[in-house]
């Protein structure tokens, strides 16, 4: 699979999201993500605005669905999303409902293992239930809470190889990665590279990061795309 670069628009207003998305696409980013803060702030309007502005670009709606799976996925699909996110900690039936909605409405399902006691087993569970992708995810609050208590910040890199080896679908690593770590994930067999906080979005203010972000993104995209095809699965 050719590596994909996705930017997470973890912003709280649609105007900033649209301008950041336009800049990211100029730099070579492949997919746009309507991040959870944007979904909460703008809802379906945010996804519709992204679809209208970028009619041919894949759009991930980071719903983090826990219940009402079919309805949430259907609504986002009709608004223009091409991918939706369901949580491994949701009830099995919710995951089934999101997968069915994905098939009915032509959207792909990304299963997120955030919060699973066994992250590898959670990823395998999502793949077995029919998700199209696995998001191997260490959460924002978890990372900060552990550091605040004097512990080492956990990273999705800790078990990325094990997650990749456990499933036969593409994997994405999310959660506090450094730039070097994010760019390296295809070498672990995880071809979906996501760029969000703190790389492209300020992790405290949830605003677009300062600096020459477009040039940085262009270099990142060039490095990721230079990997060529990445073998997916065992």
pLDDT tens for the chain, 234 residues: list them: 999 999 999 999 999 999 999 999 999 999 999 999 999 999 999 999 999 999 999 999 999 999 999 999 999 999 999 999 999 999 999 999 999 999 999 999 999 999 999 999 999 999 999 999 999 999 888 888 887 788 788 899 999 999 999 999 999 999 988 888 999 999 999 999 998 755 554 444 434 555 678 888 898 899 999 999 999 976
pLDDT tens digits, 136-162: 999 888 888 887 788 788 899 999 999
Q: What is the pLDDT of residue 214?
A: 86
Number of domains observed in the structure of the chain:
1
Q: What is the pLDDT of residue 206?
A: 37
Q: What is the pLDDT of residue 201?
A: 47
Residue 232 included in any domain: no
The three-point CA angle 167-168-169 to 5° equals 95
d(CA 45, CA 14): 9
- CATH at residue 10: 3.20.20.70
Residue 230 included in any domain: no
Residue 234 included in any domain: no
* Burial group, residue 135, by CB count within 10 angstroms (0-12, 13-18, 19+): buried
Residue 202 included in any domain: yes
The three-point CA angle 173-178-183 to 5° equals 60
The pair of structure tokens assigned to 186 is 């295809």
Which of 126, 59, 117 lies closest to 86, judged by CA?
126
Residue 193 included in any domain: yes
**What stretches of 116-202 adopt beta strand conformation (E)?**
133-137, 171-174, 192-195
Q: What domain range is 98 assigned to?
A: 4-225
DSSP 112-124: E-TT-SSHHHHHH
Q: Which residue has the tokens 């959660």?
A: 175
Q: What is the pLDDT of residue 149?
A: 83
Q: What is the pLDDT of residue 153?
A: 81
Residue 233 included in any domain: no
pTM to 2 decimals?
0.92
Cα 232 to its chain centre, rounded Å, is 17
| Three-state secondary-structure class, residue 232 | coil
Which of 224, 153, 227, 216 lies closest to 194, judged by CA?
224
């Amino acid at each position: 699979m050719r590596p994909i670069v996705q930017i997470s628009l973890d912003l709280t207003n649609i105007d900033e999201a649209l301008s950041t998305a336009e800049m990211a696409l100029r730099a070579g980013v492949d997919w746009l993500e309507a991040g959870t803060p944007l979904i909460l702030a703008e809802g379906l309007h945010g996804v519709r605005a992204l679809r209208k502005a970028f009619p041919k670009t894949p759009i991930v709606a980071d719903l983090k669905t826990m219940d009402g799976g079919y309805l949430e996925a259907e609504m986002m699909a009709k608004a223009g999303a091409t991918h939706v996110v369901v949580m491994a900690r949701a009830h099995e039936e919710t995951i089934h409902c999101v997968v069915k909605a994905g098939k009915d409405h032509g959207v792909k399902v990304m299963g997120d293992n955030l919060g699973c006691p066994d992250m590898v087993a959670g990823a395998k569970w999502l793949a077995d239930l029919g998700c199209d992708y696995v998001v191997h995810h260490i959460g924002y609050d978890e990372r900060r809470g552990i550091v605040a208590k004097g512990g080492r910040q956990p990273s999705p890199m800790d078990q990325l190889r094990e997650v990749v080896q456990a499933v036969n679908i593409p994997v994405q690593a999310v959660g506090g990665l450094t730039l070097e770590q994010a760019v390296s994930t295809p070498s672990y067999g995880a071809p979906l590279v996501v760029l969000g906080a703190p790389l492209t979005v300020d992790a405290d203010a949830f605003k677009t990061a300062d600096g020459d972000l477009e040039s940085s993104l262009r270099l990142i995209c060039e490095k990721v795309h230079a990997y060529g095809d990445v073998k997916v699965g065992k």
